[in-house]
Chain A
Amino acid sequence: MKVFAFCLVFVTGVMLVMTAQDFPAWGDAHSAPNQYLSTYYIQHTYRDTAVPNIVTAVLADYRGFDTMFETSVIFCAGLGIAAILSFGPRNPKRRKRLGLPPSAEGDLIIQTTTRLLIPVTQLFALYVIAHGHHSPGGGFQGGVILAASFILLSLAYDLNMALSRLSDRLALLWGNGGLLIYAGIGLICVALGAHFLEYSALHAILPATDSVMARSHAMLGVEIGVGFTVMSMLFSIYTQLVSLGSLEDGL
C-alpha cells in the first residue's frame, strides 16, 4: 500500500512539475493572471470606493457576496463543532482517560505578563479592523487577533476564566450577530432600491457622504461584522476542541 501510494504520488508529482514550464515565470508582471481583472482592480478601486487597500476593497465590496458566504462557512463550522461534540455521552473523566496530571495552578509570571499583554493585543486587533482600509488588515485578520487574545487568556489561566469573559452562548450570539450585520447591510441596500450589497445606495441614509464614500463606510461595517464572527467562532472552536465539548477544563 505504501509503495503503491508513493508511486502514485511520484507520478502525479512528475506530471505536475512538467506543467510548470507553462506557468508564468516568477515576478512576471505581464503574465495572464496579472492582467485583465486585477488590472481593473488596481486602476479603479480608489476611484470607485475611496479605499486605498485594494485587498480590503475587493474582499468586502467587489467580492462581497463571496466573503459573506465565507463568513457563514466559519459560522457553520463553529455551530457544527458544537453540535458534534456537545451532544451525546459526555466524557467527564477526560483527564484520567488521557493520563494527564490534575490541572496545575497557573504560573505567576506568565499570568502577570498576560494581564498586561491582552489589552494591548485587543487594542491592536481593533486597530487592524478599523484601519484595514488604509493599511494591511481587515475583519478576518483583526478577528483572528481578537480570538488569539482570548485563547492566550485561557492558556495562561484556565478555560473557565476565559469562558467567564466570553461564554460559549455569547460567542455563538456574537458570531450570529456579525453575520447579521453583514447581511443586514446588504438588505438595507435592497430596501433603498439597489442590488444586494450594492453599497453606493447607502449614501441616501448616511449623512455627509457621496456614493463613493458610502462604499468605504459600508465596507467598515461589513469588516466589523466579519471580525465579530471570526473572533467568536475561532474562540468557540478552540474551547470546544480543547475540552472535547465538555467546556469544563482545557489543557
Chain B
Amino acid sequence: MTDLMEFVVSRFNYWIYVVLMMIGLYAMISKRNYVKKLIGMTIFQTSIILFYVSIGVKSNATIPIVDHHDVVHSEILVDHYANPLPHVLMLTAIVVGVATLGVGLAVIEKIYRQHGTIEEPELLADVDQT
C-alpha cells in the first residue's frame, strides 16, 4: 500500500496528466453534443500542456531568464535555470489552441445554421433524410 502511495506521489504530475487526458478523451468519444466534444478536446489539450511543462521542471531552479550577474561574474549553471524548451513549445500551442478552438466553434455554428441541431444522432438523421 505504501509502495503504491509512493508511486502515486512521486509521479503525481503524470497521474494528473493521464486523468485529465482521459476525461477529455471520454468526452470526445461519448458525448453527442458537438460543443461538449470541443470542451473535451480542450481538456485533452490542456493535459498535454501540463505534461510538457512538468517534464521541464528542475528542483531549486529559477525561470529561464539568464541573470546578468551570472553572465559577468561567473559561469552560467545549467541546473540553475528551468528547461526553456517545453515553455517555448507550449507558449505557441496555447495561442494556436485558442485559434483552432475558434475555428471549431465556427464550424459548429455553420452546422447549426444548416441543420438546426448540434446533437450528433439528430444531425445524422437529418443528413440521411436529405
A contact set with B: CB distance below 8 Å: 1-2, 5-6, 8-10, 12-13, 16-17, 20-21, 23-29, 31, 33-34, 37-39, 41-43, 45-46, 52-55, 58-59, 63, 66-67, 70, 73-74, 77-78, 80-81, 84-85, 88-89, 91, 134-136, 138, 140-141, 143-144, 230, 233-234, 237, 240-241, 244-245
Contacts and interface: CB of A to CB of B under 8 A. Distances in A.
B92 A84 contact: no
A45, A77, A245 interface centre (most CB from chain B within 10 Å): A77
B99 A77 contact: yes
Nearest to A140: B95
Given A12-B25, A55-B88, A77-B99, A28 B58 contact: yes
- Looking at chain A's contact residues, the main secondary structure is helix
A170 B68 CA distance: 41
Interface residues of B, number: 56
Contacts of A240: 102, 106
Contact of A85 (B14, B15, B99, B106): B106
Interface in B4-53: 7, 10-15, 18-19, 21-22, 25-26, 29-30
B117 interface: no
Interface of B: 7, 10-15, 18-19, 21-22, 25-26, 29-30, 54-61, 63-68, 71, 76, 78-79, 81, 83-88, 91-92, 94-96, 98-100, 102-103, 105-107, 109-110, 113
A80 B29 CA distance: 26
A227 B58 CA distance: 30
A148 to B, nearest CB: 12
Contact of B18 (A20, A81, A143): A20
- Which of B76, B79, B95, B105 has the most chain A CB atoms closer than 10 A to its own CB? B95
Contacts of A17: 14-15, 18
A29 B25 CA distance: 31
Contacts of A13: 18-19, 21-22
A52 B99 contact: no
